[in-house]
Chains A and B, each alone.
Chain A
């Protein structure tokens, strides 16, 4: 099973999370990271497992780099039946719309037939911490569970 990380970022935090996940798991599993802006529909294939890392912008909106991806899904309405994914959302609970950015992507993937698995990971930046550590813990659980199903060859 191939793992495809797609990240939606505004200030770069989600991208460093994606970089760290690649560093951590590369070699053990097939894994790569792409900015959501650059994702094509061909990459959304049931043979890959999608790890969605997405921040929140301003008042609960999507970060800049997630917007073109959401638009692509809205315009093309691809059938994502069979595609499985997990979500890790970044946000700041100082705002009422904490972590809502990732939910905009989650709801689209679900509506198009994809299935979310595992815990919905969330990181709260309100205390000034970085999301990277908790994202690693989250990814370890997801990848361990998913990789077991189809052993890497």
Chain B
């Protein structure tokens, strides 16, 4: 059954597994002072896997292991950007982890296992692969959230994440079992073909509802968002950067793979409506609650909830152009959040977490460049032209209007205007307020980190000006 072709299709994943095992073993044998070797090897592994993902690609969709694994443009793009964001996480987090004595090789190993989970999840061709990919991703994430085990906040966040995550996985699995009961298949392509002819439509509908609960939890869409603020606040910022970037790409990939199997037909309209409700709740709750936050990590958590609302608007459209807009949005969100959390990590130092919005007061006087990078991230998250975030929002709104859901687009625009307020507050604090006496904030971090952070932030500007090629790429992914 296992053919040479299967191995070729899975080459990036197989390489990653082998390389991570080597990394794990190597890290055991090196001394504390040589940890840089682990760091650079992890970065090299990520880069090589990304290279294999891009180059080893057959042009059209191919499946391996009897349809369990699908390698198409969607999986290629999502895997690539997940790997890019992991690369950014590695570069940004070294000084942060060093300062907190958390700089262990396991951080790299667990993050790479998590990104492997992302790659399986976005390339899943069967319900089993989706579930296992998700577990690989979330199990690594729980450990990464609890990584600072001497911190009470970190442990509390991890326990909350673990309990609620287990509940969501259970819900997803329960839904899958019902879908399997109604259709007798685990294969997503086969499910897509047979879903209309089931003689147990109610069972299928129940299964779909439970699966959507699982998806909404993983995205962090309201009303399944409770874990998000605590995890963002409590977890080490290095972990949050990963959870906010690569995990969101994975959640989009999972939502797309699962939901697109339930259409076209009666069920399509039902999940569209459910997602529309989730989207409105996320937009409203995320944007309104973010206004009153004083902790910037919590603020970004609520902003994530709002952004997942926009992403759901793209999925609601349920057409190739809608999926393309949602994928474009997920990518833009991943790249924006790495900048925002990167700046937070750059401003923190040993014994001082730059977490409160007040800590950013007068940043412009202390470090013009960091303030500028943060401003780029905030404007992009708010959706100010000509940054990346603006075009992502524009395409999402277009998708919502095309789907004939004008009211959704209006809600989204109002939410975006409300959202502008709290993003601008951060910018105002940085540029117009006087620095707090006694709080000496100075950008930390090493040279590679600063360069990479600048590059990442300027990419937001560059992709805002030349968003066409990336969007065309996204459109091609869903066209075939």
Q: Report whether chain A binds chain B.
A: no
Measured CB to CB, the residues of A under 8 A from B are none
